[in-house]
Structure 1
Amino acid sequence: MALATFLFALSVSAAAIKLKGPPAAPIPHFEHAYTVNRLPSRGSMQPMSELKTVESVIRLTRGNGSSLSSLYVQAMRLQNTGREGSYSRLVTGSLPLVNIEQGTVFLAPVTVGGQDFDVVIDTGSSDPWLASTGFDCVDPYIHDDEPEDYCYFGPLYDPSKSTTFTPIPDRNLNLSYADGEFINGLMGYESFTMGGITVPQQQFSAVNYAGWYGDGISTGLVGFAYRTLTSAYAGTDPKLDKAGKQISYNPFFVNMYTSNTTAPVFSMAMTRNENEGGVMALGGIPDIPHSQYWISVPIIPVGVNASSGEVVYEFYTVVIDGYAYSSDQSAQFNPYNSANSRKRSLVGNGTQAIVDSGTSLMYVANDVAVGVTLAFTPPGTCDPSSRTDPTCYVPCHSIPPVFGVTIKKKVFYVNAQDMILQNGFDEETQMPVCISAVQANLKGLTILGDSWMKNVLAVFDIGAEMMRFSAREFYGLGIYGTTASPGGYS
């Protein structure tokens, strides 16, 4: 198969794949292992937030790149090192020049100090930062000085044009991401407005040193995880920053709800329209079609860190009941796993899964991925034991099986439109190559990515430490989008 390295390509930042702009990044190599640990609860939990339809709705757009937090997940699912709970980054050889990862970066508009920018929204990190005028751009891997446009940021933040910027003495932000990119900058307070909500004094970094491969649109990033993941340090010399010595501060969304500006909840709805991203609502849910029924499941605090101890990410992880799939389009399933010969039992019971809008596909246990691939009509091919090509391929004209993820006894089905993705063309036959949206996690972590999230309205209830899901109709996003497709609730 001409595109045999597809899944391996997912293990590196799609920011290294440039469709236009500066030259593509060299392929990064990662030698350290990653560990996964259960973390203690973040403190006293609040009652679940009332899910009101709110006006603080942000229209998301897509960028050309990978969610920075999802790089950890992609790294860990590739190769089991034989140590319990530990996975090594697989060294890759080449990248197919395909755009399968388009849309895994979601951008939102933000106004900072009276200046308008687009920023990456990342649910797996916490710090807000913007590249500022006069910053020094370097190559992320060899650290050679480069012109500004090499880092390929969007419009730059200019502190001199702001009347609300206040620098914080002796404080710096120092972030190194899993793909080798990094940023550093002085800290300050600034007015941030997103979705019509303003935090007048948000701590952030005006980045003045960056090893980055941008998308030509986004100027920085706003993290939506917890304050435990912030990366500010004392002093102004990043060479003196030590792991474990971070100074915590309130991220942007935490400031929103601790100041009682909004409820401690946000929600996301992805769209399958490749030209759109979706919507994000702050303090409630957007006014889009969805089922009247909700399920609620606790967020399990799971920490992921490099063995070197340099970086830690925390993810929104939930326990799922299992998977429902069959080539029989009229099949009925038994989410209670009780004795009922007329219904099919679930598989993969009690799996911990990361809900990640920064990953395109779904990654499940190897045997489940093989079973789903063979349930296509005609069936596909999938060999997770292959060290050269563990990709699950399907004929582009296949009829997908019924497939759903069961949470709290509710099956959330995936629209057939989301089950097959075209992955370029075969070099010899020039025929399109297609893959299943359900891929083997290669004994790594289970991920519910965009292919699943397009079918639900996902609510991140931070105060109650709960995630809540409602099935979405097979339509677009109403006033927030233009896509339409037939069907009913998933």
Structure 2
Amino acid sequence: MSITDIDQDVAYYVPINIGGQIFNVLLDTGSSNLWVPNENCTSDSCQNHNRFDSNKSSTFKSEGNQWSILYGSGSASGVTGIDDIQIGTFTANKQIFGLADVVSNDFTPLPSDGIIGMAFDNLNTMDSGAPTLISTLINQKTIKSLFSFHFQHSDNPNDQGTLTLGGVDASKFVGEISYNPVISEIGFWLIIMSGALVNKIPTLSVLRPAIIDTGTTLLIIPTKDAELLHKQIPGSVYDNQDNVYLIPCNTTAAVSLVFGGVGYKIPPKDLIFAPISDTQCVSAIIPGDILPPLPIWLCGQTFLKNVYSVFDVGNKQVGFAQNK
């Protein structure tokens, strides 16, 4: 199915149908909750989004269990419900999902209504690990146990991103898919990154745990690693006040991440996050210690929109291939 780009590759979403009502949900492999605004939600961020009206669904059943979730940016809470949910041409029957009664203002400007979490079940804060929508489709033998993405760049109107449920879209990548095992049972798509290069020069040659997160915009990496990488980007300067690096807007530096012995390139244009002047731009590689003392990398769209990514639920592995 086609996916839609938010702003300048901030995030991506798809439509789903819950009990005959359409919602746009942000694609997030960094969480496992599926939620949409509830009809009675009074938060400002609910007022400009579609809200679920249980009275309009003949298949809805109230479960009524409390849930809440805190994201890197934003939060939501409410009660659980059960309904048939259609995504693409597939339907997950009697799917547990969240009716959000409170949604933080972080979501107000987004065109998406809610979030579809696509990590593992045990990360789901609803009912202490309720099956995700993906798990339900797999358990009902509706799809094979994997899903995959090609994310488009907003500056390329001729490209169309795709989410493929139960398989891969061979028209979107070249060569072989190289797989990396998930190394933890905590619920994230956590794999090992074996190094990073700047302009093909090895800059970081030690193993790092990496969370592959479609719901994160940037590449958030340990403070010391960010310093090492930016030292190799000519003209980079650390902004202590905002805890970001500034790099030349016309940088020619390219960063490559190595997984399973294969390097995947982030081109210079995708190292630019936002301009602050005619010559200086905020780097899309942000220092941040996610789960100290673990030196975890959070690999968001800065990286993911430059590869074809496969999330193999059945074999617990993540695959990458080169985009066409």
| Normalised-by-shorter TM-score class | 0.7 to 0.9
| Matched residue, 1:407 | 259
Q: Per-residue displacement from partner, 1:365-414 (whole Å, max 9, x unpaired)?
A: 545434443444xx22334xx753442211212322x4211111111122
Are 2:196 and 1:323 equivalent residues in the alignment?
A: yes
| Matched residue, 1:466 | 317
SS at match of 2:169: coil
Unaligned runs of 5+ in 1: 1-56, 65-101, 139-148, 233-245, 304-313, 332-343, 426-430, 474-490
SS at match of 1:394: strand
Q: Distance in 2 between matches of 1:454 and 1:152?
A: 31
Where in structure 1 do 4 or more consecutive aligned residues deviate above 4 Å? 274-277, 365-368
Tell me which of 421, 435, 452 is aligned to 2:282. Answer: 435
Tell me which of 104, 123, 130 is aligned to 1:249. Answer: 130
Are the equivalent residues in 1 in contact too, given 2:150–2:172 (CA < 8 A)?
no
Q: Per-residue displacement from partner, 1:61-111 (whole Å, max 9, x unpaired)?
A: 2346xxxxxxxxxxxxxxxxxxxxxxxxxxxxxxxxxxxxx5333221011
CA apart distance, 1:228: 1.5
| Matched residue, 2:169 | 286
Letter in 1 for 2:188: F
SS at match of 1:388: coil
Aligned residue pairs total: 315
Are 2:102 and 1:210 equivalent residues in the alignment?
A: yes
CA distance 1:154–1:469, shift in 2 (3 Å) = same
Q: Distance in 2 between matches of 1:418 and 1:466?
A: 26
CA apart distance, 1:471: 1.2
Are 2:298 and 1:447 equivalent residues in the alignment?
A: yes
Superposed counterparts of 1:52-201, under 5 Å: 57=1, 59-63=2-6, 103-133=9-39, 135-138=40-43, 149=44, 151-168=46-63, 171-178=64-71, 179=73, 181-185=75-79, 187-201=80-94
CA distance 1:436–1:263, shift in 2 (3 Å) = same
Letter in 2 for 1:224: M
SS at match of 2:136: helix
Q: TM-score if structure 2 supplies the norm length?
A: 0.85
CA distance 1:370–1:131, shift in 2 (3 Å) = closer
Q: Distance in 1 between matches of 2:242 and 2:98?
A: 41
Q: Per-residue displacement from partner, 1:407-439 (whole Å, max 9, x unpaired)?
A: 1111112223322333344xxxxx353133334
Are the equivalent residues in 2 in contact too, given 1:183–1:212 (CA < 8 A)?
no
Q: Distance in 2 between matches of 1:268 and 1:299?
A: 18
Letter in 2 for 1:407: F
CA distance 1:410–1:151, shift in 2 (3 Å) = same
CA apart distance, 1:469: 0.8
Q: Distance in 2 between matches of 1:62 and 1:285?
A: 20
| Matched residue, 1:229 | 123
Q: Distance in 2 between matches of 1:392 and 1:124?
A: 24
Q: Distance in 2 between matches of 1:302 and 1:254?
A: 16
Are the equivalent residues in 2 in contact too, given 1:152–1:215 (CA < 8 A)?
no
Q: Distance in 1 between matches of 2:74 and 2:228?
A: 36
Between structures 1 and 2, the one with greater strand share: 2
CA distance 1:323–1:355, shift in 2 (3 Å) = same
Tell me which of 229, 238, 259 is aligned to 2:140. Answer: 259
Q: Distance in 2 between matches of 1:180 and 1:436?
A: 22
SS at match of 2:226: helix
CA distance 1:472–1:158, shift in 2 (3 Å) = same
Q: Distance in 2 between matches of 1:347 and 1:280?
A: 32
CA apart distance, 1:287: 4.0
Larger Rg: 1
Are 2:238 and 1:351 equivalent residues in the alignment?
A: no
Task: State percent identity of aligned pairs.
Answer: 23
Superposed counterparts of 1:6-17, under 5 Å: none
Q: Distance in 1 between matches of 2:162 and 2:51?
A: 25
SS at match of 1:357: coil
Q: Per-residue displacement from partner, 1:253-281 (whole Å, max 9, x unpaired)?
A: 10101111001111122222258883211
CA apart distance, 1:459: 0.6
Tell me which of 254, 262, 271 is aligned to 1:419. Answer: 271
SS at match of 1:288: helix
Q: TM-score if structure 1 supplies the norm length?
A: 0.58
CA apart distance, 1:284: 1.0
Are 2:179 and 1:296 equivalent residues in the alignment?
A: yes
CA distance 1:136–1:455, shift in 2 (3 Å) = closer
CA distance 1:409–1:436, shift in 2 (3 Å) = same
Q: Per-residue displacement from partner, 1:174-194 (whole Å, max 9, x unpaired)?
A: 113245633212x33211110
Q: Distance in 2 between matches of 1:216 and 1:362?
A: 20
Identify the range of structure 1 (249-258 vs 413-422) with the bigger mean alpha-carbon deviation. Answer: 413-422
Q: Distance in 2 between matches of 1:302 and 1:433?
A: 41
Letter in 1 for 2:250: H
